[in-house]
Every structure is written in C-alpha cells, then in structure tokens.
C-alpha cells in the first residue's frame, strides 16, 4: 500500500518533484565537479613533484647546511704551443653541486631506521667546460730595412692572432647501479638503449637525458668525455614530466672518483615501508641521525608556484565554500518546497487521518516521497557532475608550475631537484578532472541527506494536521 500510494503521488506531482530534484542536483553536481578538479590539481602537483623525486622515492636526506658560495674560482689550465697554426684547447672542472656531502656510511644508517624499506645514495655534480682555440699572431714591420737589428727606423707590430673560447656547463649525477628502483633515474624512462646493471657501478658508461642528447647529438654507442675520461653512452632517458634530474647519469663510484669525493654522497633517496607513515619515518631519521635534513614531497608541495598553485588554491578554498553554500541553499529550497507542498495537501492528509492513518504513517509517506526526490536529484547531479568533469578533462587546460627553493640549496631537494640547473623553470601540466568512487558515494549520501532534510520538514508539518482542517478546507 505504501509503495503504491508513493508512486501515485509522485506521478501526480511530477513538476513539483522535478523542481525539488533539480535543486538538489545542481548542488550535488557542483560538489562532484569541484572535488574532481581538486583531485586533478593534486595529480598535476604530483607530476611536478615526480619530476624531482621519481616513482618509489618518498623523501630525501641531505646535510642540514647547504654548501655556501665558495670564494675559489674555477681554474682552467691550457698547454702553450709555439707553432703558428691555431691550437684547439679544452679544459673542464668537476664540482659537487648543491648540498654538502655525507659519508656513504650514512646511507646504511638511514636504511636501518624503523619504517625505511630502502635507501640509496647519489652524488650531484656540475661540470664547467671551456674549449676553443688560440691563433698565434704574426709580426709585421713597416718602414726601414725590415730586418731585425738593421736599423732604419722601422716599426714592428704583431697582427692577427687571438682566441675564441666557449663555456659549456652541464650536470652529472652519480647513481647507485645496485638499486635503480629508488633515486633520480626513476623520474625518467629509458627510450633508447638500456640502463645500468648492478655490476657497472665503476664502469665508464653513461645514460644521457634525451634533451641534452639531442642538443649535443649524442646517441647510444657514442662517447662523452668528462674531465678527460671517455664514457660510452648506453642509454637515452626521457623525463616523465618537467626537467630531468641531471643531463648525464654515470655510476656512483666513478662519479666519486672524478670529484675526488671517495665514499661521499650529496643526497640519500628513501623509500618508506608504509606510505602512511612517511611523517613518522621523517621524524625518526632526523632524531637518530644528527646533522641531516629530511625533505618529503609534502614539504615541497607548498613550494609549487605558478598558475597550478593559483588554481589549486581556488579549487580547495573558494570551491569548497561555494559548494557548501550551494548545498545548504539547495537543501533549504528542497525543505521549503516540500513544506509548501504539504500545506497544499491539507485536505488530503486530513482526510487520510480521518480514515485512520496515524501521524507516523503520514510522516513516513512524506519522508518516502522526499527520499525518492533526493535520489532522483542525486542521479541528475551525478550525471551533470560527470559531464562537467569530462568537459574539463576534454579541454585539458594547461597550467604552469615551478618548484621554488625551500632551503637555499643550489641543486638539491628543495632547490628544484638534485642536479637541476634552474629550479624556477616552468613546467606545463595538462589539467584533468578524475572522478573517484568516493566522490560518487559522497554524491549519493548528499542526495539521501537532502531528501531526509526535506522530508523532516514536510513530515513535521504533515504530522501536525488534524482531520478538522480537512473539513474546513472542504467547506
């Protein structure tokens, strides 16, 4: 009887039911769209941070104080030659980049901490290379006899000659070939050739970033000279998003030898055993290993700037409060419309009470109708919200983001990533609006909640009606 009467009344009042349902639908659709865009912002931010950390890395450990600017200047030496022909010269200098070094034994200490799954050390280097050529000038005498010692008042001048040199700087990163699942190379994919093997930790092999390889015409099999040592290119790596961690990757032991930093690292990459315990692991490392700074992706998230940051703030703050305001308005409108509809049904409810319906039964009837309206609104709201999210994903507006420095380091985590030359370089990210199951579940809960609120108002109003009111309305 309840369901039959419910269906008949809803069909009889289709327009009123549709108005209530659409009011709830708009509020729910806005919540879905805002939540989806916020999720897309989080994903976009994750892509920016992934270009720094890579997959599998939850935090990095560096020495607490970054390296101060050194007063020593680069020193380049060239061999003098007496021949008159042009002489090509080349000299480069390898320097540790970013933070001060840590002992390699610190990597083992970090790996032994509670909650740490694995820890890998890396050495960030910068290479400044000067190459070019000298051209010897020629002496020419004008006037006089033109012969040395012959007098005659002639003037001797050196004409021609000179030097033409170019300066090239690039970044090199020493990676532990024994554990490539964590570390700077995880932010890139090997698109040509192959990556290192565990046995190549001291080999003269290199993996080159694709952008650097293209600029310098490097391919798999070619050689690259770093500080007089020739490295064979075995692979080309392409960054998943943004800049690569370095221009060139070489085995860690070989990098330590080149930088005269045996058993030293600049960065320790850490993978936590449980992603939910990252904060606790960070505190444990800082407590047990003095003189270190632990940086997580959450720490770096606040340094992401650009249009991505602006849009993210808008979606999380303004969007959230706008959604709440619209939901409250939608619930109130639904409640008022339901209460108004009950007022217009005075004769109906009064007659039903006169026929023996109890106040509770009348209230349940109104509540049932309101919940159905809420579910209809939820269905419409989910459809509209999905359409809005799909539209955002289809348009894929471009957002720019860059990582600012959190600690003043020139090239370590917090300074734009290990091995980076420019932390402020913008990264372009395409915005998407993924809709999760949790968002759909939230929409269903809101739909039922809106129906219950509206039904509560209407049911309370209906329960107060008396049979005498129906008789007076007939008269």
Each residue of 401-410: pLDDT tens digit? Answer: 665 544 433 3
pTM beyond 0.85, yes or no: no
Alpha carbon distance 362, 228 (integer Å): 92
Domain that holds residue 240: 65-69+85-134+162-290
User: Is residue 149 included in any domain, yes or no?
Assistant: no
Contacts of 340 (CB under 8 A, 6+ apart): none
User: Is residue 302 included in any domain, yes or no?
Assistant: no
User: Is residue 323 included in any domain, yes or no?
Assistant: yes
Same-domain pairing of 259 and 380 = no
Alpha carbon distance 221, 425 (integer Å): 31
Each residue of 61-113: pLDDT tens digit? Answer: 988 655 444 445 566 565 655 554 556 666 677 888 877 889 999 999 999 99
User: Is residue 456 included in any domain, yes or no?
Assistant: yes
Same-domain pairing of 249 and 323 = no
Task: Please state the φ and ψ torsions of residue 184, each to the nearest 5 degrees.
Answer: -65, -30
User: Is residue 56 included in any domain, yes or no?
Assistant: no
The pLDDT value given to residue 56: 60
Same-domain pairing of 36 and 185 = no
Number of structural domains found in the chain: 2
Same-domain pairing of 28 and 97 = no
Same-domain pairing of 247 and 371 = no
User: Is residue 140 included in any domain, yes or no?
Assistant: no
Same-domain pairing of 45 and 121 = no
Alpha carbon distance 231, 235 (integer Å): 12
User: Is residue 344 included in any domain, yes or no?
Assistant: yes
Each residue of 185-211: pLDDT tens digit? Answer: 887 889 999 999 999 988 999 999 999
DSSP 8-state assignment for residue 64? S
pLDDT beyond 50 at 470: yes
Task: Among 257, 290, 323, give the residue marking a domain's end.
Answer: 290
Same-domain pairing of 320 and 272 = no
Run of H or E including 167: strand 162-175
The 3-state DSSP class for residue 320 equals helix
Identity of the highest mean pLDDT range in 55-64, 192-201, 315-324, 457-466: 192-201
User: Is residue 280 included in any domain, yes or no?
Assistant: yes
């Amino acid at each position: 009887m309840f369901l039959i009467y419910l269906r008949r009344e809803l069909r009889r009042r289709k327009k009123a039911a549709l108005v209530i349902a659409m009011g709830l639908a708009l509020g729910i659709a806005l919540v879905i769209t805002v939540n989806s865009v916020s999720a897309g912002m989080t994903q976009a931010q994750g892509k920016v941070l992934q270009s720094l950390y890579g997959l599998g890395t939850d935090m990095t450990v560096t020495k607490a104080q970054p390296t101060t600017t050194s007063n020593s200047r680069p020193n380049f030496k060239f061999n003098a030659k007496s021949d008159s022909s042009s002489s090509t010269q080349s000299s480069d200098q390898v320097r540790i980049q970013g933070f001060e070094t840590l002992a390699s034994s610190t990597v083992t200490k970090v790996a032994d901490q509670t909650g740490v799954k694995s820890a890998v050390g890396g050495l960030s280097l910068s290479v400044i290379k000067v190459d070019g050529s000298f051209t010897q000038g020629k002496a020419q005498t004008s006037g006089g006899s033109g012969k040395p010692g012959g007098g005659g008042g002639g003037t001797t001048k050196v004409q021609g000659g000179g030097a033409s040199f170019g300066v090239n700087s690039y970044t090199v990163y020493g990676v532990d070939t024994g554990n490539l699942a964590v570390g700077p190379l995880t932010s890139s994919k090997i698109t040509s050739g192959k990556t290192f093997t565990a046995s190549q930790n001291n080999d003269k092999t290199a993996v080159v970033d694709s952008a650097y390889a293209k600029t310098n015409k490097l391919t798999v099999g070619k050689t690259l000279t770093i500080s007089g040592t020739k490295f064979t290119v075995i692979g080309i790596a392409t960054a998943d998003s943004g800049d690569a961690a370095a221009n060139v990757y070489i085995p860690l032991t070989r990098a330590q030898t080149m930088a005269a930093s045996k058993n030293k690292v600049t960065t320790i990459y850490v993978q936590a055993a449980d992603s939910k315990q990252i904060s606790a692991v960070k505190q444990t490392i800082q407590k047990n290993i003095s003189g270190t700074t632990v940086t997580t992706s959450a720490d770096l998230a606040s340094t992401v700037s650009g249009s991505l940051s602006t849009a993210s703030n808008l979606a999380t703050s303004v969007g959230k409060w706008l959604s709440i305001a619209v939901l409250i308005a939608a619930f109130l409108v639904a409640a008022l419309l339901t209460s108004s509809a009950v007022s217009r049904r005075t004769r109906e409810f009064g007659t039903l009470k006169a026929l023996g319906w109890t106040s509770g039964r009348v209230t349940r009837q109104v509540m049932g109708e309101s919940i159905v309206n809420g579910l209809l609104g939820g269905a419409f709201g989910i459809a509209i919200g999905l359409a809005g999210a799909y539209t955002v994903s289809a348009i894929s507006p471009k957002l720019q983001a860059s990582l600012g420095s959190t600690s003043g380091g020139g090239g370590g985590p917090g300074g734009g990533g290990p091995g980076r030359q420019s932390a402020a370089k913008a990264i372009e990210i395409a915005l998407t609006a993924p809709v999760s199951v949790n968002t759909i579940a939230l929409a269903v809960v809101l739909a039922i909640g809106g129906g219950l609120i509206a039904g509560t108002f209407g049911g309370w109003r209906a329960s107060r009606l008396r049979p005498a009111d129906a008789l007076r309305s007939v008269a």
